[in-house]
Structure formats: structure tokens, C-alpha cells
């Protein structure tokens, strides 16, 4: 009995000795790849069941749809920074350019030997730091502001691989201002998503990978409630009513790869109820 008690005590001590994020990682899956697509400036009810975004509705029906998902603030740029680094780094507007050396989702992934890339439609070239180019807007590509990230993390969408096995561990996809629904219509953005990510969504279901579709913010008329969908073979399809926000999503991805929680995501619990 004494030996059993001693062993149990050692196990308890070991559990408390786990580094930050390790315990959470045991409660969430570890996808081979995660692709995050961020759309723009529409509330939940403008998208889900509205008839304007039939492809997003299809994704919602096949995956986990969060019915109480929220952005953090207005305008756009702070929300991208929140989702990427756990805070807005002091930026409260859409100004350009900015420069930070803070930790981020990308720096944490790279530090563990995993990989990250952001793919932006209309970005002029690898590593470009222009504020605007055509319909590209740097304010929607948060990694461009972090000086501790290499140029290879900042890529045009034309570099998004057709062989999805070549994707980084975590990738962001940022459509241009027409195709992310900022300047263009919901229907046009929905069609762009289908035309450019449907093949990945299908592939992900057979290759232990995950697609996340979310919105940076609403149009300031819907309480900043936005549509967020997770789709992958590890996801139990359905509607989920718990409150989540950009920090929750960042915390969940950190848990997937045993990363240190960042900024305001530290106080969030990873999403746990949607997994098979």
C-alpha cells in the first residue's frame, strides 16, 4: 500500500510539473495542418442561414459552428493582432506600418520546430512590407509587423501549395479586399472561398487536418458576434453555444501544439467539446 501511495504521489507531482500548455494538449487533437481563413466585417446573422453564403453554410453543416463567437474590438487591425498574438500590441486603429518584437503564434510555432506562413492575396512578393498593393492591405496580415519572423512567413496567395502535404503546420489565408467581403459582396467572398479552399477542406477531412473560417469583426451592428467554423476529421459536427472569441481560438491552437499561451489568451481555456 505504501508503494502504491508513493507512486500516486509521484504521478500527481508530475502532473503539476507539466509545462504550460502540456495538460491542455492532451485534451485537444494535434492536426497535421491548420488553415485559418479570416473574412471581413460581417455579423453572424448576415452569414449563417442568410442565403448569401451557401458555401459557408455547407461548411457549418459539416463542421463545428460556434453560435456565440465574438471579435474583440473595432476596427479590423486590432482583431487580427489579437488572434495572432493575444493582444493588439497597442494598436487601436488601421494605421500602417507597425513594428513589434513580441511573441506570436508564428514565433512560438517556429521555436518548437513547427512551421508557419501567412498567404495574402495580391501581396506583391515574398516578404513585402508595403502597406497596400492593389486590393492587398497589410493591416489584415499581422505577421508582417513582427520583426522576429523571417520573410518566408509572409507569402503571396499564389504560393499556397497545391500539394497540401507541403503546407506549414499553421497557415493563414487572407483574401484581398474584394474577396474577403470588405469591399466585395458576401456572395463574392463566399464564392472565392469555395473556389480556393474547397479542395483543401475535402483533403483535410482525409488527412488529419483542420480548416478554420472566422471573421475579424462584425459591421458594428450585431454586438461583434461573428461566424466561426472548425472543419476536420477530428471535429464532431454540430452547433456549439459556448462563448468564444479570438483569444479562445488562439489558445486552442496553442494547446494543439503544446505552445505557451500568449497575452490575453492565457486566461482562456482551449475549446474541448467539439472533438471526436
Listed residue (272, 253, 267, 268) closest to 36, CA to CA:
253
Tens of pLDDT along 111-139? 999 999 999 999 999 999 999 999 999 99
Q: What percent of the chain has pLDDT over 70?
A: 91
| Predicted pLDDT at 7 | 38
* Bond from prior residue into 97 cis (ω within 30 degrees of 0): yes
H-run or E-run covering 47:
helix 44-47
With a cut of 70, say whether residue 8 has pLDDT above it. Answer: no
- The C-alpha R_g of the chain, in whole angstroms, comes to 19
Architecture of domain 21-267: 3-Layer(aba) Sandwich (3.40)
Q: Is the pTM value of this prediction over 0.85? A: yes
Amino acid at each position: 500500500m505504501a508503494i502504491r501511495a508513493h507512486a500516486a504521489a509521484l504521478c500527481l507531482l508530475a502532473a503539476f510539473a507539466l509545462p504550460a500548455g502540456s495538460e491542455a494538449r492532451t485534451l485537444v487533437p494535434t492536426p497535421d495542418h491548420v488553415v485559418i481563413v479570416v473574412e471581413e466585417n460581417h455579423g453572424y446573422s448576415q452569414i449563417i442561414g442568410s442565403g448569401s453564403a451557401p458555401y459557408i453554410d455547407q461548411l457549418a453543416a459539416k463542421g463545428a459552428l460556434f453560435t456565440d463567437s465574438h471579435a474583440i474590438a473595432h476596427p479590423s487591425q486590432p482583431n487580427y493582432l489579437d488572434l495572432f498574438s493575444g493582444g493588439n500590441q497597442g494598436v487601436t486603429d488601421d494605421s500602417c506600418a507597425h513594428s513589434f518584437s513580441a511573441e506570436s503564434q508564428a514565433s512560438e510555432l517556429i521555436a518548437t520546430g513547427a512551421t508557419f506562413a501567412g498567404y495574402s492575396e495580391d501581396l506583391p512578393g515574398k516578404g513585402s512590407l508595403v502597406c497596400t498593393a492593389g486590393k492587398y492591405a497589410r493591416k489584415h496580415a499581422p505577421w508582417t509587423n513582427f520583426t522576429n519572423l523571417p520573410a518566408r512567413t509572409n507569402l503571396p496567395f499564389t504560393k499556397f501549395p497545391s500539394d497540401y502535404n507541403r503546407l506549414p503546420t499553421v497557415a493563414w489565408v487572407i483574401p484581398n479586399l474584394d474577396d474577403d467581403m470588405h469591399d466585395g459582396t458576401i456572395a463574392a467572398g463566399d464564392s472565392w472561398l469555395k473556389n480556393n479552399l474547397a479542395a483543401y477542406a475535402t483533403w483535410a477531412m482525409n488527412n488529419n487536418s483542420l480548416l478554420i473560417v472566422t471573421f475579424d469583426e462584425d459591421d458594428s451592428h450585431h454586438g461583434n458576434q461573428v461566424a466561426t467554423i472548425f472543419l476536420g476529421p477530428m471535429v464532431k459536427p454540430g452547433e456549439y453555444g459556448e462563448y468564444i472569441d479570438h483569444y479562445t481560438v488562439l489558445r486552442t491552437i496553442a494547446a494543439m501544439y503544446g505552445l505557451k499561451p500568449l497575452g490575453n489568451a492565457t486566461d482562456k481555456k482551449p475549446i474541448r467539446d467539439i472533438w471526436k
